[in-house]
Amino acid sequence: MSIAPKNIVPAEQAYDSWMEALPYPLFGLSENHQFLFANYAAEVFFERSRHILLKSHLDDFFLEDSPIFGLLHRLGSGMSSVGEQEMTLVSPRLGKKLVTIHIATIGNGPGDGHADGHADGPGVIVSLQSRDMADQLRGQSLSRGAALSMSKMTSLLAHEIKNPLAGIKGAAQLIELDANKEQSDLSHLIVEEVDRIAELLNRIESMAGAGKLNFAPLNVHEVISHVIQITKASFGAHVSIETEFDPSLPDIMGDRTLLIQAFLNLIKNACEASSEGAIVRVVTSYALHNFTSSSALSREKFLPLQIDVIDNGKGISEELRDILFEPFISNKAEGSGLGLAVVASAVADHGGVVSVQSQKGETHFQILLPLTQYKEPLAHRQEGA
């Protein structure tokens, strides 16, 4: 007589645990499109509890001309599985969602013949992956490219302007040799101003030419605290800055200067949008559910480090939200529109993503970062590396 080890988990229980652990919606459908089972992510996606879902049909959420039914029809034509990388699902109940979808046939659903009342019979299993995060990464990659192009252009212009400046300075120094007192003072002023402009151009070149990133272990809370210290001594003196730091956050690999610039721009924007005595909140957390995936990557990307900057200012107009991280886009009369492009570029350099949600009375910027900096595309890294 053999006794099963106590640490062996029953297959059905393990199956349920695996389903619940998945970060994307997974659900089963009967032949008539009734829900057979659904994991927690599916409950979130459909905005219904599992109890309600198991009494519902897919037709309750999507119109009959929805492309998801076209995929199901193809599956019924003899194919064992079908999928679509980018599918737009429009639902009267759920709104508009962009997803990657995979559907496969199954023999009997996990709930078949169980107490939930489902009859035995063939069905399908459906997995959905939201493209929202992948689109953010792609969009910010474009913003980063625009910011880098702008950076190279700035560096080139600064270099080209310095050449005629050297000629102007040399000519002024020659004039000064044979000039009277009044002319000598003027030529000396020209030399001083040329030197000042040249120094300014050097500073612009050093800022614009940030091609090499200096990654080193750093504590993100130390970086944010440094930025808050700068903020309180300058443009943020009129607001109250509250912090909620998660002490469990590990150190990350990052470029300290670049991250300071990114957080400085975000917090500066929050302060400028806030009135006297307003509160700006900076919150950090370790979020296990922050995954993103893209067809360009060989596997999912885990972005657990979350930094939120929240203000209760006037908000950002709807027409600007989708293009807010592009260069030269600003809702401020005298704004350059470069601050958030720098933020998007810096976050992308760290393998992360930044997003914004805004309404009247609250604007919420969120940065998600990985634990480490990948030095080569994930598609070329070996599993487990």
Tell which residue, 333, 314, 235, has the closest CA to residue 273: 314
- The whole-angstrom separation of Cα 190 and Cα 187 is 5
- The whole-angstrom separation of Cα 187 and Cα 213 is 41
SS (H, E, C) the chain: CCCCCCCCCCHHHHHHHHHHHCCCCEEEEECCCEEEEECHHHHHHHCCCHHHHCCCEHHHCCCCCCHHHHHHHHHCCCCCEEEEEEEEEEECCCEEEEEEEEEEEECCCCCCCCCCCCCCCCEEEEEEEECHHHHHHHHHHHHHHHHHHHHHHHHHHHHHHHHHHHHHHHHHHHHHHCCCHHHHHHHHHHHHHHHHHHHHHHHHHHHHCCCCCCCEEECHHHHHHHHHHHHHCCCCCCCEEEEECCCCCCCEEECHHHHHHHHHHHHHHHHHCCCCCCEEEEEEEECCCCEECCCCCCCCEECCEEEEEEECCCCCCHHHHCCCCCCCCCCCCCCCCCHHHHHHHHHHHCCCEEEEEEECCEEEEEEEECCCCCCCCHHHCCCCC
Predicted local distance difference test score (pLDDT) of residue 222: 95
pLDDT digits (tens, 9 = 90+) for 20-57: 777 778 899 998 899 998 988 888 888 888 889 999 99
The model's pTM is 0.50
Domain assignments of the chain as residue spans, ordered by start: 11-130, 136-208, 216-380
Class of domain 11-130: alpha beta
Using 70 as the pLDDT threshold, list the residues of the chain that sit under it: 1-17, 76-78, 107-122, 131-160, 200, 202-212, 289-301, 321-322, 327-338, 372-385
Helix 220-232, helix 256-272: angle, nearest 10: 40
Predicted local distance difference test score (pLDDT) of residue 208: 55
**320-326-327 Cα angle (round to 5):** 115
**265-268-270 Cα angle (round to 5):** 110
Predicted local distance difference test score (pLDDT) of residue 27: 92
| Phi, psi dihedral angles at 202 (to 5 degrees) | -60, -40
Class of domain 216-380: alpha beta
Predicted local distance difference test score (pLDDT) of residue 147: 55
pLDDT digits (tens, 9 = 90+) for 81-131: 888 877 888 888 888 777 888 898 876 434 444 434 444 445 899 988 776
